[in-house]
Amino acid sequence: MYWWLRKRNCKEDKDAESQRDFQIYFSKSIQHSGQKLHYESEVVLWLVDKLLHASREQLSKSFFPVLEQAIGVDSTFESQSPHEDDAVCSLLVPLDPPRGHAFHLEVGTVGQMLADSCIRVELVCTCKTEETVGDMLCFLHHPEEALRKNQKPSLLHTLCTGSYLDVQQTALWFQDFVTPAWEFVPQSHHYRMKVLPSSRSCKLQLTHVSGRTLLVEMMLGVQQGDSDIFVSSQATEAVCTPRTTRALSFSVAEAEFFWLMAKQVPSDSCHLSCLQLCTHFLVGTALSSHILGTVVMHLLTTMPLAGWHRSCFPEQLDEIMWYLDLCLEKRCLDHFFVDNDDLCEEITLPQALQRAVPLNLLQHLVYDPAAHKRAMRELKELKSLLSIQLFYRH
């Protein structure tokens, strides 16, 4: 009897060891996939940087928005895209006002500003500034007839609806402009560029001579003061979004946060591997990748960072699922960048967000029992899929 029990225990130990080896191997394979995504995102960032440089030179004497250096944001730049083969590299292109113009951001309360912000365009006097170099006339103080005959229209007359920068007109202008500018990009002969339909952003399909395709989406945004928050052209959750309405984007702040965490977690941390695996199974569910990312950001600031070592991959997946389950049960998940005392000091936020009351990302579940029931069901299915993936895939 003792011999049989010892033999059984030995077999269980070997099974557990084999399971652990597989879990580490699985984590490494996800990490390898993430490294490939990271490499491709760096290629995209380089190509877009050259594209915007060519665009700036051609727009230098115009009165269209000034295109600043693109910022890599979203899943592929953190190597957590759900699908490696069709990952979209998302970038945010900051806009500055052209000569003789100023941008004024109009945002509401914290709850409203997330999806209800506007960019008001205002003409400014250039009579006594360096902007009068060349043949530029002041939009405010020169006669309309002289302006009409001798100068190109102001931004108010090209990309605005009323006094507000129009999201769709700006996106279409940018789409039309990138095609001729692409010819001035070094290495452009190695890629065939195709502009894909989009009403609020610029989507590009870059096909390498080898056949490999890169998908790129560029959102246009205006920085809120000197903070890491932008008013962006990204779509809101509203069914019908007005042409002048934009969402408050935290994507740059999120990218900054993960970059700061990368310098503090173990060199072979599994937090991005956990994100990539979970995001893969969230596709098609009501549990968005944004919700999952918020959960992981909260855990990264409340748990010992040493616990994110790759050998702890299964345990950290359990921790993420436990936290998400707890949030869904309570129907409450605080927005990471609103009234958060655990936020890194290096991330700059507008004072309105620092002083605001916590914002519940799951507030809609409080008033919609059917949506809450669906979310709980999908979380249960997610847990099951993760268990199968980790413990029964051989």
For residue 237, what pLDDT is reported?
Answer: 55
- DSSP H helices in 187-306: 251-262, 271-282, 289-302
Q: Could you give the CA distance from residue 193 to residue 187 in angstroms, rounded to a whole number? A: 12
Structure confidence by residue, pLDDT tens digits, 354-386? 777 888 999 999 999 999 999 999 999 988 888
Higher pLDDT, 80 or 218: 218
**DSSP character at residue 227:** S
Structure confidence by residue, pLDDT tens digits, 312-352? 888 898 999 999 999 999 999 999 998 888 888 899 998 87
**DSSP character at residue 98:** -
* pLDDT surpassing 50 at residue 9: no
Q: Could you give the CA distance from residue 251 to residue 69 in angstroms, rounded to a whole number? A: 15
Q: Could you give the CA distance from residue 186 to residue 240 in angstroms, rounded to a whole number? A: 40
> 119: which strand partners?
105
Structure confidence by residue, pLDDT tens digits, 242-263? 888 888 889 899 989 998 998 9
| Entry field: residues in the chain | 394
| Highest-pLDDT range among 18-22, 101-105, 231-235 | 101-105
For residue 353, what pLDDT is reported?
Answer: 81
For residue 366, what pLDDT is reported?
Answer: 94
Average pLDDT of 44-69? 88
Structure confidence by residue, pLDDT tens digits, 164-205? 999 999 999 999 989 888 988 888 888 999 999 999 999 999
Residue pair 313/23 in contact (Cβ under 8 Å)? The answer is yes
For residue 79, what pLDDT is reported?
Answer: 40
Q: Quick one: tokens of 146? A: 């002289």
Q: Which pLDDT band, with edges at 50, 70 and 90, does 113 fall under?
A: low
Q: Which domains does the chain have, with CATH numbers?
A: 33-250 (3.30.460.90), 264-394 (1.10.1410.40)
